[in-house]
Amino acid sequence: MANSNIKQIIKQEYIKCAKDPVYFMKKYCFIQHPTRGRIQFNLFPFQEKVLSLLNKNDRSIILKSRQLGISTLSAGISLWMMVFQKDKAILVVATKQDTAKNLVTKVKFMYDNLPSWLQIGFVEKNKLALRLKNGSQIKAVSAASDAGRSEAISLLIIDEAAFIEENRIEDIWGSSQQTLSTGGKAIVLSTPNGTGNFFHKMWVKAQENQNGFIPIKLPWTVHPERNQQWRDQQDAELGNRMAAQECDCDFTTSGNTVFDVDLLSYYEKTFICDPVEKRGIEGNLHVWEYPDYTRKYMVVADVARGDSKDYSAFHIIDIEEAKQIGEFKGQIGTKEYGYMLVAIATEYNNALLVIENANIGWNTIQIVIDKGYQNLYYSPKGESGTNAEAFLAKGYDVLDTSKMVPGFTMSMKTRPLTIGKLDAYMREKSIIIQGKRTMEEMRTFIWKNGRAEAQTGYNDDLVMSLATGCYIRDTALKFAQQGIDLTRATLRNLGKSAPGVYTGGVSKKNSGWSQDMGDFGQQDLTWLI
């Protein structure tokens, strides 16, 4: 064959490769197989689709199963960009430097096995970086470094993003924005690692079309060589929980959640339902049952710290059934919150009103005391509050204010006790939870450095107030049964002129909730409830 013909064929092939990374990888890229050695990278149909999406979109986020070859695809598109485009800078970031280095190693292997007419030649070549003579380069760094800072990045690849520390990945993403915004591309990929972290939030926003990322979900079923037998084997090797994370791309079963995810699913299917009424200006008070004046209730409240991301929350609980029949979560001033709690607790048969007395909670408690509410919960002072029987056995007078403090005291000792009590209630299936918002908080309630708390970006106000309610019902309620009554004997400023039985048909305007404002007459308080 004449040299001119060979040159023409090479030119045509070069043009095809330059235009289409799928064609380039299928025909000219080789990979290192763990058992078969050097083999041609014969892409599966799903890999071709993913590669095309990565090429067409500037922002791609991939939620993936294990062992799908997605890191290899990322290496392939990196090599394609380096070979066919000048002066491109590719940065690979992973949890550890070795993980990031592996992707660079894949790029080098592919490059070394290209035909000579596709090889440009190296200016720099080591385990962490490759630079071609056309000025294009790839570099691997760990998330612990100053990744992405002050660098011109053409393509940013963040591998196993869900496992990078929250502050680090936020810093990486923030520092790369200046250069990426000028036309750079980003590929963020990971298996799930719980909800509420940076990767999960980015995925959710991508699904809602809020951040410019194209979401690509790749569960194990996309692989044509895998079947149910393979999936069952993963259960056997990894355990059901880890297999759901690694194979099914299940956020809710990944991470270290406090409450068993199967129990949460059971509750969602069995009890979670829409309320019969949503009250308030924003409908933040959800009611499933109206007061039955033959039953006893308690209202358990958490008071917001006051910042923009924090919420006040309370539950209305049927004491006998251990049933959530009302739920509030919203942002409200401490004074107004106190009025609201008095109104709700009074409506529900003068319910035992439990308010956490930490920090700003005292402001709300003071309003309740000033209103003269008759059934405010008091806690024993000190460590005695964790053991009702011990407190009473010592002969302490629960009516002695020197031994008691208004509200519930959440401490390092009582916090794990309350959470443990809620967990026990759920495992025994002896509590009825109907609120969707409560269940959502439970799914993002995790163990973090030995402490149970909400994942970053989420709240646990409803979880903690419900946990307190369970604890009060089983333990501290014994104090109330001994006749705790340290508050005022009468309701001085709050009256109810409406009939004693509440019905949903009573209009809020005429419900009778009012406050005597002296010369200003009666102030309508129904907006609070």
Q: What is the pLDDT of residues 352-374, one digit of tens each?
A: 999 998 888 899 999 999 999 98
254 compared with 319, residue with greater pLDDT = 319
171-217 pLDDT per residue, tens: 888 888 877 777 889 999 999 887 767 898 899 889 889 888 999 99
> Which residue stretches of 20-96 are H helix?
21-28, 45-56, 70-84
- Radius of gyration from C-alpha coordinates of the chain: 31
Confidence of residue 254 (pLDDT cuts 50, 70, 90): low
Residue 342 has pLDDT above 60, yes or no: yes
Whether the predicted pLDDT of 289 surpasses 60:
yes
For the entire predicted model, the pTM comes to: 0.57
Read off the pLDDT band of 447 (50, 70, 90). confident
In the structure, what pLDDT confidence band is assigned to residue 459 with cuts at 50, 70 and 90? confident
In the predicted structure, residue 399 carries a pLDDT above the cut 80 = no
Q: How far is 390 from 481, CA to CA, in rounded Å? A: 15
Average pLDDT over residues 166-173: 83
For the chain, which residues make up each domain, given as ranges?
3-248, 261-502
Q: What percent of the chain has pLDDT over 90?
A: 49
Mean pLDDT lowest for which of 40-49, 82-91, 297-306, 340-349? Answer: 297-306
Length of the chain in residues, anyone?
529
Q: Which helix (H) or strand (E) holds 236?
A: helix 228-238
3-248 under CATH 3.40.50.300, yes or no: yes
CA triple 211-251-425, angle to 5 deg: 130
What is the per-residue DSSP string for 341-404?
HHHHHHHTTS-EEEEB-STTHHHHHHHHHHTT-TTB-EEESGGGGG-HHHHHHTT--TT-GGGE
CATH T-level topology, domain 261-502: Nucleotidyltransferase; domain 5 (3.30.420)
